[in-house]
Amino acid sequence: MEISPRNILDKISLKIDGRILFVPIETIYWLESSGNYVEVVVGQDGDKLLVRDTLSSFEGRLDGHFFVRIHRSIIVNVARIREMRPHHTGEYQVTLDNGRQLTLSRGYRFNLKRLMQAYA
């Protein structure tokens, strides 16, 4: 079987407990910083894969057209966003297609334009 660049870009490798998992990008809902680890939340049920890495490292590895940082500790899959509601504090409540709600903090409002352009 020949491996094309397209196949490689469809998945991300995660080193977990001495093994390497190849996770399809479309199954990732969001990534959240947790101390020296990153929780990669996958699937409709929100299964969490714990990876010893930094959120900044993931931000550099993930395609900025499909993933955007909405909080200092959260990167979200743009395709999973169902709705965004402004809050009086200047933040936004981001609702994903599985019902999970995340916060787009004021410090990352500049990414709001990128989010909206993704759906234009």
In angstroms, the CA 116 to CA 16 distance is 34
| Contact indicator for 52, 35 with CB cutoff of 8 Å | no
Which tens digit of pLDDT belongs to each residue from 13-29?
Answer: 999 989 999 999 999 99
Residue 44: CATH number of its domain: 2.40.50.1020
Backbone angles phi, psi at 98, to 5 degrees: -100, 5
| Residue 47: band (very low, low, confident or very high) from pLDDT cuts 50, 70, 90 | very high
In angstroms, the CA 44 to CA 77 distance is 13
Give the number of domains in the chain. Answer: 1
pTM: 0.87
Q: Where in the sequence is the domain holding 22, given as residue range(s)?
A: 5-118
**pLDDT at residue 73 tops 70:** yes
CA separation, residue 58 to residues 21, 31, 84, 115 (Å): 15, 9, 23, 18
